[in-house]
Amino acid sequence: MKEGPDIARIAALIGDPARANMLTALMSGKALTATELAAEAGVTVQTASSHLSKLDQGGLLAPRKQGRHKYFAIANADVAGVLEGLMGLAAMNGHTRTRTGPKNAALRHARVCYNHLAGDMGIQLYDAMLAQGLLQEFSDEPQLTPQGAAFATDFGIDLTALTRAKAPLCKACLDWSARRTHLAGSLGRALLTQFENLGWAQRDRSTRIVTFTPAGETAFQARFSV
């Protein structure tokens, strides 16, 4: 018997088309019910419940109950990172599900990746922070510089609270649509939240699209120009 991590079991859990559709839907960062996930997967609620049980047992989901309802979400950022990486690998090898119309272009421009900004805008954010000396790359992972810490505080982000949390402050995430890096980690999540708080952008929970207002895009381009 071979020893070591059983990647075949995890791959089999993700590889089922219905379960893959459910996991993709949960990449919006929003918790969904079995009924909602059944609609995303195109299966009955009973079948969806069976799939969700397997994903839960495999450690890929974090279920929680609220009142009479049970909700499911991606278990953690590591699971989300694996899913985003698989999306990038699939896109690179031509395995894409084509949707014509503006939705595809909007997804590539700006979208939610689990809980942070991805797409062209997310890549620009990462590149600008590197170019402006707010981030530096170290061992393939970004680190916030002292200048970056001052920027984050001035931008309204509570760095003290972020650094107390167990989650990494900064992580590099490979963008599936452009196969370039965008910023994940608790800082990436906090920046997207602040863009929303400032009225710059709004996320569409049903499609993962992030829409910037004209004023918000202007402010973003002014602050994060490369």
The H or E element spanning position 164 is helix 159-164
What is the pLDDT at residue 97?
A: 63
What is the pLDDT at residue 80?
A: 87
pLDDT, tens only, 91-125: 777 766 655 444 678 888 999 988 899 999 999 99
What is the pLDDT at residue 189?
A: 93
What is the pLDDT at residue 111?
A: 93
Which residues does 7 contact at the CB level (< 8 Å), separation at least 6? Answer: none
| 103 and 159 fall within a common domain | yes
- Give the residue-averaged pLDDT of 141-167: 93
Sign, CA torsion 92/210/201/193: negative
| 86 and 68 fall within a common domain | no
The domain that contains 66 carries what CATH number?
A: 1.10.10.10
| 120 and 64 fall within a common domain | no
What is the pLDDT at residue 102?
A: 46
Within a domain: residue 41? yes
Residue in 57, 51, 43 with CA at minimum distance from that of residue 15: 51
Domain around 34: 7-75
Q: How many domains does the chain have?
A: 2
| 35 and 83 fall within a common domain | no
Within a domain: residue 2? no
| 65 and 87 fall within a common domain | no
- 35, 58, 75: which is the final residue of a domain? 75
CA-to-CA distance for 77 and 80, rounded, in angstroms?
5
Record the pTM: 0.71
Alpha carbon 103 to chain centroid, angstroms? 17
What is the pLDDT at residue 209?
A: 92
